[in-house]
Amino acid sequence: MKNLLIINGPNLNLLGKREPVLYGSNSFSDVLENIRSIYPDASISYFQSNDESELIQALHGASANGVVGIVLNPAAYTHTSIALADAVMAIDIPVIEVHISNVFARENFRKESYISKFAKGVIVGFGVESYRLAIDHFMRSEN
């Protein structure tokens, strides 16, 4: 059984309520329940915080919990947090950066990611399906 972790950054606790045209109308608990039903052979844990330091601690603590892959939606910290990028760089666990919306079709400041350089890959613009695509990669890969 693969032990995977999904980490969501600021404001994603409002998924389903905040800008449903952009982010959809499902809560993340609905999304997570669906993903877990698709991958019963995976242990998929979830962490969300609006606090940058808590996100960094979740990344740092993942290996102690036996996590072999992380799906990270850093949200607005994508474009602002060198500290979060450093945390991704510092760990030995592969991280896939995901975004619900197509950040390249939005405001110019959203087109730059401090995280991408250190991520195994980036998935953008497929709505909440972006999470499933990342989990699918981890389930099919050896690491």
Annotation marks residue 23 as catalytic: yes
Among residues 28, 88, 79, the alpha carbon closest in space to that of 58 is found at: 88
Contacts with 85 (C-beta within 8 Å, 6 or more apart), sequence order:
114, 115, 117, 118
Residue 123 tokens, joined? 């998935």
Task: Determine which one of 23, 77, 114, 131 is catalytic.
Answer: 23
Residue 81 tokens, joined? 């947090």
**What is the C-alpha to C-alpha distance for residues 50 and 111, in angstroms, rounded to an integer?**
21
**What is the C-alpha to C-alpha distance for residues 33 and 30, in angstroms, rounded to an integer?**
5
Task: Determine which one of 77, 99, 114, 131 is catalytic.
Answer: 99
State the alpha helices, DSSP H only, in 65-128.
82-90
Catalytic residues: 23, 99
